Amino acid sequence: MTLHGAHTGPSGEGGARIGAWSGLAGGGTAEILARSGPDWLVLDAQHGAYEGAAVAATLHDLAGIPVPVWVRLPDDSAAGIGRVLDAGAAGVIVPMVDTPQQAARIAAACRYPPAGVRSWGPTTALYGRSTPAADAANSRVLCAVMVETRSAVADVTAIAATPGVDMVFVGPFDLALSLGVGLDDLLADDADDSPLPSVVRACRAAGIRAGAFAGAVDRGGRLAGLGFTDVAVLTDAGLLASSAEAELARWRGGPTAPRRAAY
């Protein structure tokens, strides 16, 4: 699935891949999102309700659905990265990555030796799934590092060029805070040397994917228009809040209330 038309990236190469973002652990919400047809799905263990056992259980529930499932971790710990990959995540998104050195440690945590330092212990075979050999696991895993501070943007060329980093993923909410600008101003700024175009340029130069969190279709279209290749457009909490509010407003015949959720 891609964002077409006005949402197609300036490269004109078919638009961005659309991601779905699940923060509501349990109750089948991730499965409902995965079956809605996104290009990839993220389980959010930083700001969402996913903790260890819920991540593993959800990855098992999603195993038969042909959508890559990545986990956004709460921090850059190698142990945390290893645990979600052991449970079958196709990749990780690691928040608040500020330097190429930190990015290199994260890339190493995603891969078995000799490419990295990941410890062997996948649990997928216990649940009837195959366990790829170490070299196949190393080449299939997606390692995404989040650029969401002023200092990360200043170093984004080196972060994107770090071997083993497959995608730089922008957190525009945190980046706007770090820069001291409004979210809409950050998204509107398309000057060559401004933050978001600089990230896209660095990713293109390194030959890696440029991802970003949008949380809504209008912001997603803007990010795809700036050239991001992967945009998280749907969130379970946002969809639930906005459609519940819209349906209630429709029932009551009044105006639709502004969205409560930040995402």
Binding site for Mg ion (CB under 5 A): 148, 171, 174
**Under the criterion CB under 6 A, does residue 70 sit at the interface with ligand 3PY?**
no
The pair of structure tokens assigned to 113 is 């030796």
- 112 or 213, CB closer to Mg ion? 213
**Under the criterion CB under 6 A, does residue 220 sit at the interface with ligand 3PY?**
no
DSSP-assigned beta bridge partners for residue 142 = 91
Helix axes 78-86, 100-109, angle to 10 degrees: 40
- 86 or 148, CB closer to ligand 3PY? 148
| Selection from 47, 50, 48, 68 nearest residue 58 by Cα | 50
Q: Output the smallest distance, CB 152 to ligand 3PY, in A.
A: 11
Q: How many residues bind ligand 3PY (CB under 6 A)?
A: 7
**Under the criterion CB under 6 A, does residue 171 sit at the interface with ligand 3PY?**
yes
Q: Output the smallest distance, CB 139 to ligand 3PY, in A.
A: 27
Q: Which residue out of 4, 7, 47, 60 is catalytically annotated?
A: 47
**Helices marked H in the chain — which ranges?**
29-34, 52-61, 78-86, 100-109, 134-140, 150-154, 156-160, 172-179, 183-188, 195-206, 217-225, 236-252
- 174 or 245, CB closer to ligand 3PY? 174
Residue nearest to Mg ion (CB): 171
Q: Which does 172 bind (CB under 5 to 8 A by kind): Mg ion, ligand 3PY, none?
A: ligand 3PY
Q: Output the smallest distance, CB 161 to ligand 3PY, in A.
A: 22
108-127 core/surface letters (b: 16 or more CB in 10 A; e: else): bbbbbeebbebeeebebeee
Do 223 and 16 form a contact (C-beta atoms < 8 A)? Answer: yes
Q: Output the smallest distance, CB 177 to ligand 3PY, in A.
A: 8
- 99 or 124, CB closer to ligand 3PY? 99
Decide if 47 is catalytic.
Answer: yes
**Under the criterion CB under 6 A, does residue 155 sit at the interface with ligand 3PY?**
no
- The total of other beta-carbon atoms located within 10 Å of residue 184's CB is 12
Work out which of 39, 166, 174, 189 binds ligand 3PY, going by CB under 6 A. Answer: 174
CA torsion angle for 32, 33, 35, 39 (degrees, to 10)? -170
Do 41 and 17 form a contact (C-beta atoms < 8 A)? Answer: no
User: Which residues 15-54 are close enough to bind ligand 3PY by CB under 6 A?
Assistant: 47
| Selection from 154, 189, 188, 197 nearest residue 9 by Cα | 197
Instruction: Supply φ then ψ for residue 69, to 5 degrees.
Output: -115, 120
**Under the criterion CB under 6 A, does residue 236 sit at the interface with ligand 3PY?**
no
Site of interaction with ligand 3PY (CB under 6 A): 47, 148, 171-174, 213
Q: Which residues have a catalytic role annotated?
A: 47
